[in-house]
Amino acid sequence: MTSKQKLELTWIGKEKRPRLEPRILLEDPEKSYHAKHRVTENDIFDNRLIFGDNLLALKALEAEFAGKVKCVFIDPPYNTGSAFTHYDDGLEHSIWLGLMRDRLEIIRRLLSEDGSLWITIDDNEAHYLKVLCDEIFGRANFVASVIWRKNYSPKSSARHFSVDHDYVLIYAKNGEGWFPNPMPRSEKQDAAYKNPDQDPRGKWKPGDLSARNFYGAGTYPITCPSGRVIAGPPNGMYWRVSRERLAELDADKRIWWGKDGNNVPAIKRFLSEVKQGLVPQTFWSYDEVGHTQDAKREVVALFGDDVFGTPKPERLLERVMNIATKPNDLVLDSFAGSGTTGAVAHKMGRRWIMVELGEHCHTHIIPRMKKVIDGEDKGGISKAVNWQGGGGFRYYRLAPSLIVNDRWGNPVINPEYNAAQLAEALAKLEGFAYAPSETRWWQHGHSSERDFIYVTTQNLSAEQLQALSDEVGQEQSLLVCCSAFHGVTATRASERWPNLTLKKIPKMVLARCEWGHDDYSLNVANLPMAAPEAPLSPALSREGRGRKSREAALTADLFGDGGEAAE
């Protein structure tokens, strides 16, 4: 065997990977929005809402935000099958897995070393997605599969089982270095603590002094303050502490003998001494984090009857962020939907980036975030976190493709790009940080303290290149991207000016990417149609029609309300 084998999920077309164009982002100040004044000193204004294909947007973010995102929460299309009656099932699942794979690989690169990914999904793809994530993140970085009970009543129309839950798959960028924040204690949990003996250390609750595990010094008689003698621990049990340790605890008034001093002793566990947070659990009930009807009521309160199909309740996102983030951490949602992630992150003092391709980016997300910023959103978690408004966001759209074809079919630089946008786009393509200098006209960006890039649409002469080389100096290097240069070949140029590297545009980037591809979305409309079936014999055709009608009935029972969209 020549190569090491590994477990992996395979599907049709897995080897095909898009050659993504790293687009630049263009801000539209008219759609950006900020509070009229600072509400608190903790207001965050530089959040980002990006309109465009989410795979291209993730690629656009990679250069600036790789290793900086603390938490990614995504609620991707569940791929229920109800929308795919005209598509080949195997191909459809393969396309879904391929498109998810492409996004997850970039998401992993965006995550910080102590970051985590949270994905809501249902049974249709959950187990395939788990194996896919194992392959991308590594099985050792799987954290948990949370069960969220999203429905509070059964569906009587269910064919077999009424599905009451979704999953939340959780992966860490580095499982060894990721630790969840403890869950806050609830009033119900604290209510068990009393102080019947007015102990100055505060409220406490009794703890059992006996235990099942064998303890060599844990079998002895105990005399209560009332004089009653307890011969020993219950059958098959042992006292947790030795006789000497019990005396020490009693002297410190940490043993409760009951009101009359006649009870089996109990250890007093003080509220002030217990761990103030709880380890997160993997079952989340709807009374803790909300259900789908809660989510729809939240959206109806914001938008009236124009209800977004599959919102998530704000309390669900609040729990995710309580566990995975702290104030000022960066949260990313590349399937923004109605904007719940951004709304919750904003109210909780987290920085956020949301990406959405659908028109509801404008009809739902922007109006929602304006209400949040203006303090007009009183629903969701607003009351729980005492949200008063403040902060803001910047709205961006993906720039058009850098390379287009002219009227004769020749690839050229997109005429929609101005000089600054062209410089930024080429800097990103070449791995430079775009940072135009105010003093050096030839410095458009840098990759290190001594390595710079210069972009121009001019045709440069040997004299111009000589002047440029002199100004750059021998201690620095410059990548020169120009339409053409004359009077010298590229080889001779590198010999004559070793501090310059010359590249012609657009030739320098033509083979890099898939130019002009604007939509890599998971939209069913973008999937290839299934091949038409060959005609069948009458008998087989009748059998097929019967099978199809049974399948249609099953589909109607299972997904008659629109699958996930109807929850």
In this prediction, residue 7 carries a pLDDT of 78
- Closest by CA position to 25, among listed 56, 4, 3, 47: 56
Mention every residue, 6+ apart, whose C-beta is less than 8 A from residue 104.
Answer: 117, 132, 133, 136, 137
CB 316 within 8 A of CB 181: no
Q: What is the pLDDT of residue 2?
A: 54
| 129 neighbors 77 (Cβ within 8 angstroms) | no
C-beta separation of 309 from 565 below 8 A = yes
How do beta strands 459-461 and 445-446 pair?
Answer: unpaired
- Per-residue confidence (pLDDT) for residue 533, from 0 to 100: 45
Per-residue pLDDT band at 273 (split at 50, 70, 90)? confident
Which of 530 and 109 is assigned the larger pLDDT? 109
290: tokens are 């909300």
pLDDT band at 551 (very low <50, low <70, confident <90, very high): very low
Percent of the residues in the chain that have a pLDDT greater than 90, as a whole number: 68
What is the average pLDDT across 235-250? 94
Average pLDDT, the chain: 87
* Best CA proximity match to 286, nearest among 313, 324, 310: 313
Kindly state the helix (H) or strand (E) to which residue 16 belongs, with its residue range.
none
Q: What is the mean pLDDT of residues 383-409?
A: 96
pLDDT > 70? residue 427: yes
User: Is residue 513's pLDDT more than 90?
Assistant: yes
Cβ(79)–Cβ(96) below 8 Å: yes
Tokens of 406: 């002219």
Task: Reply yes or no on whether the pLDDT at 544 is more than 80.
Answer: no
SS (H, E, C) 214-263: CCCCCCCCEECCCCCEECCCCCCCEECCCHHHHHHHHHCCCEECCCCCCC
For the chain, give the percent of residues with pLDDT over 70. Answer: 88
Tokens 């975030």, residue? 369
Note the pLDDT tens digit of each residue in 82-99: 544 444 445 578 888 998
Residue 219 scores a pLDDT above 50 = yes
Question: What mean pLDDT comes out for the span 477-502?
Answer: 89
Q: Is pLDDT of 79 > 70?
A: no
pTM of the model: 0.80
Cα gap 364→310, rounded to integer Å: 13
pLDDT for the residue 553:
37
Q: How many Å separate Cα 425 from the centre of its chain?
A: 26
pLDDT of 430 strictly over 80: yes
* pLDDT of amino acid 278: 83
Asked whether the beta carbons of 32 and 393 are under 8 A apart, the reply is yes
